[in-house]
Structure 1
Amino acid sequence: MTSDDAALRDAVGRLARSFGPDYFQAQVDSGGNAAELWAALGEGGFLGVHLPEQYGGGGAGLREIAIVVEETALAGVPALSILFSPGVTGTILDRSASEEQKARWLPAIASGRERWSFAITEPDAGSNAHRIATAATRDGDSYVLRGQKVYITGVESASKIMVVARTGTDEHTGRGRLSVFVVDADAAGLTKTRIPTVMNQPELSWQLHFDDVRVPVSDRVGEEGRGLAVAFTGMNTERILTSSICTGIGRYALAKAVDYAQARQVWDVPIGAHQAVAHPLASAHLHLTAAIEMTDKACRLYDAGNEVGELANIAKYLGAESGLQALDAAIGIHGGNGVSKEYQLATYFWIVRMLNMGPVSKEMILNFVAEHSLGLPRSY
């Protein structure tokens, strides 16, 4: 870790701890969107730390925004909005938007004045983007969007939604030719329906219906029909940052478990003196460390301009799995206290459990590794 890394971790950690788990739960219970935390992160320059300086960012890289994501989660205030707004949509704009679009949109994202959401998932195209059915039809100087998206996160706080839609079909493969559009969150014809879930987080889940929503051609990001390549510049980022939020929660849970194992005594010794208690925590530490190192490697190579599809998938798999392992071990070691809201552990369970399923499920990552890393026959 460099001195700059340590300084960034310290600054973000101190800020996030000034909010902490009590603030996080109060936001969930009251229906808040963690606006105060978001504003503080924006004012500190942390939300846009990875975006170009000319657009109000910090000029650093994915490695630095990953630190921000991990440290906020470690402080008990995991912020999924960072993944989707500056993380995914900010990166897509930085990598694929025109200079005019960057100047128009990036400053508000980098400063945190605006939050954006990212909409790709559909009822019949969860892990197969080629089956996206939401269509964008060219009509003069606009496109007309028709279709639906499901399980889209953070729409309640979004000023704009980045939407992946079909603009044609490949005549040889039958696969959709996709394009990426920026849609106003209050656009005429856009209907938003909340999906009730057990998630204990400020960001909500939504179903979106596009009924002849008009989008100017000037709000298409990248070339028409090249949207999958455009989207994947942000989706690899999303997978890496998902690892960071999960390892942050895992480190948060592990620290609480270690403190509990040292303080609680049964038969006149701390329970941490017993291997049945100590070994799950040691195992969690090993797996978290491996995940963090792999995530850091993915960030470094991404920032150096390398292709990181394999590493992004591996980092996401290891981070999500190790975060869930650490949290589960911490809950178990607390016994009945582990499911009490007072101990602020089980309240984070569904965040990490959900992030093991998506973005991109563990099974699809294993399919990717089997085919592309090992050269095995395609299984789906």
Structure 2
Amino acid sequence: MNYSFKLSDEQKAIREGVRDSCARYPDTYWREVDERRGYPEAFVTELTKAGWLAALIPEEYGGAGLGITEASIILEEINHCGGNSGACHAQMYIMGTLLRHGNPEQKQRYLPGIASGDLRLQAFGVTEPDAGSETTRISTTAVRKGDRYIINGQKIWTSRVQHSDLMLLLARTTPYDQLKDKTKGLSVFLVDLRKAGDALEVRPILNMVNHETNQVFINNLEVPAENLIGEEGMGFRYIIDGWNAERILIAAECIGDGHWFIERAAKYTSDRIVFGKPIGANQGVQFPLARAYAAVEAADLMRYKAAALFDSGEKCGAEANMAKLLASEASWDAANACLNAHGGYGFACEYDIERKFRETRLYQVAPINNNLVLAYIGQHVLNMPKSY
């Protein structure tokens, strides 16, 4: 396969269009949202109306029918412009589960509303306090009773649930000790949060980043059987199927962050005069930024390679994982170089660096810890013994 990462005219237009949308939400907007620990409602509404969050939805359902490459450009540019796409990125990577494994009736029922903005699919209930990254050990149960499932359990780090209409929920439909293949026995449900009532108790988790995330306690939640995605017991496979898209999109966000940090630092250090010359003329300031830029550009190539493979229907597990690893590390290096270049001003909220510094740090550990990415590469790419 020939990997060409030169953007097409359409892809360039997408980048410029997203940049235009983001220009209406400058640093002061994001700073104010961060200070009050708010949700960027106006920004998410703007992106929805412009059609950016419906990028992956087929045209027949009111979306743009674009690929992961284009979706990654959208999220990258949001972060590149100083925003935080974490407020809405889940609608991109959750979408694959419904698109790939939902039945025609489910797609017709939900996708047009998601595309128009009448419905939001932003919440993803997978992680549990006693399972963490070992997803096959989750204990939330879904028991079939007639034409519905009764779900009980607990989720943690469930983001955006307070700003979503729908949630994808992974639950156990077969007890763990009854399974020979431990990857089976889990099922995915599309939960209408508007109808959940007292069956869901949401407790916000105050965290370092202004990221709306929660503990969710599920008590006898009734979900119609028609909201089961795909085949009962195959949910873990469906979730894995979406992980490659998730990693590619997160990599793109980190690349956007990396360029934001480097551009801010390059301008500041070119303008800041100390001892009669710009501080950027000092190699101790210049070289870390140059190295960070090289790392971001290298990660960007892996992002586009992974996206090209994904869009062509080829295997891309290794590339998607490496893109996430390289991009998250590159953005973190860029963040540190930018903060060091600004000195004390880097800690001042009015410069926005400390905000972005906190935001990009998240991707060392979420949505997957980089150590688990290294374990994946060691085992599945290098054919080394399993390390855990």
Q: Deviations over 1:49-85 (max 9, x none)?
A: 2220011111110111111100011111112133212
Equivalence for 1:37: 43
Q: Deviations over 1:220-254 (max 9, x none)?
A: 11100110111122222111111111111111111
Change in CA separation of 1:111 and 1:326 when aligned onto 2, cut-off 3 Å: farther
Equivalence for 1:376: 384
Equivalence for 2:140: 134
- Look up the equivalent residue of 2:44 and give its one-letter code: W
Within 5 Å, which residues of 2 pair with 1:96-115? Answer: 96-115=101-120
State how far apart, in whole Å, the 1-side matches of 2:118 and 2:76 are: 22
- Give 5+ residue unaligned stretches, structure 2: 1-6
Q: Deviations over 1:4-42 (max 9, x none)?
A: 121111111121122122111222333432122112212
State how far apart, in whole Å, the 2-side matches of 1:286 and 1:112 are: 38
Equivalence for 2:202: 192
Change in CA separation of 1:256 and 1:225 when aligned onto 2, cut-off 3 Å: same
State how far apart, in whole Å, the 2-side matches of 1:23 and 1:67 are: 22
Q: Deviations over 1:337-370 (max 9, x none)?
A: 0110011101122221111101110000000000
Give the count of matched residue pairs.
377
State how far apart, in whole Å, the 2-side matches of 1:368 and 1:36 are: 39
* 1:51 aligned counterpart, secondary structure: coil
The two structures, once aligned, show a CA RMSD in angstroms of 1.4
Equivalence for 1:84: 90
Change in CA separation of 1:215 and 1:359 when aligned onto 2, cut-off 3 Å: same
Q: CA deviation at 1:111?
A: 2.9
Within 5 Å, which residues of 2 pair with 1:164-313? Answer: 164-168=170-174, 169=176, 171-174=179-182, 177-186=185-194, 187-188=196-197, 189-199=199-209, 201=210, 203-313=211-321
* Mean Cα deviation higher: 256-265 or 110-119: 110-119
State how far apart, in whole Å, the 2-side matches of 1:197 and 1:368 are: 28
* Mean Cα deviation higher: 42-51 or 60-69: 42-51
* Mean Cα deviation higher: 369-378 or 6-15: 6-15
* 2:186 aligned counterpart, secondary structure: strand
Q: Choose from 322, 336, 357 the match for 1:328.
A: 336
Q: Choose from 7, 28, 49 the match for 1:22.
A: 28
Q: Deviations over 1:253-301 (max 9, x none)?
A: 1110000110011222211111111110001101100111111111111
TM-score scaled by length of structure 1: 0.96
Q: Choose from 64, 73, 91 the match for 1:67.
A: 73
Q: CA deviation at 1:3?
A: 1.4
Is contact 2:39–2:87 with CA below 8 Å preserved after alignment? no
- Give 5+ residue unaligned stretches, structure 1: none
Is contact 2:183–2:237 with CA below 8 Å preserved after alignment? no
State how far apart, in whole Å, the 2-side matches of 1:197 and 1:308 are: 33
Is contact 1:90–1:109 with CA below 8 Å preserved after alignment? no
- Look up the equivalent residue of 1:305 and give its one-letter code: G
- Look up the equivalent residue of 1:309 and give its one-letter code: G
State how far apart, in whole Å, the 2-side matches of 1:171 and 1:275 are: 60
Is contact 1:180–1:227 with CA below 8 Å preserved after alignment? yes
Within 5 Å, which residues of 2 pair with 1:149-164? Answer: 149-164=155-170
Change in CA separation of 1:174 and 1:237 when aligned onto 2, cut-off 3 Å: closer
State how far apart, in whole Å, the 1-side matches of 2:183 and 2:237 are: 14
State how far apart, in whole Å, the 2-side matches of 1:172 and 1:311 are: 30
State how far apart, in whole Å, the 2-side matches of 1:238 and 1:81 are: 14
Equivalence for 1:124: 130
1:355 aligns with 2:360: no
TM-score scaled by length of structure 2: 0.94
State how far apart, in whole Å, the 2-side matches of 1:19 and 1:174 are: 46
- Look up the equivalent residue of 2:327 and give its one-letter code: G
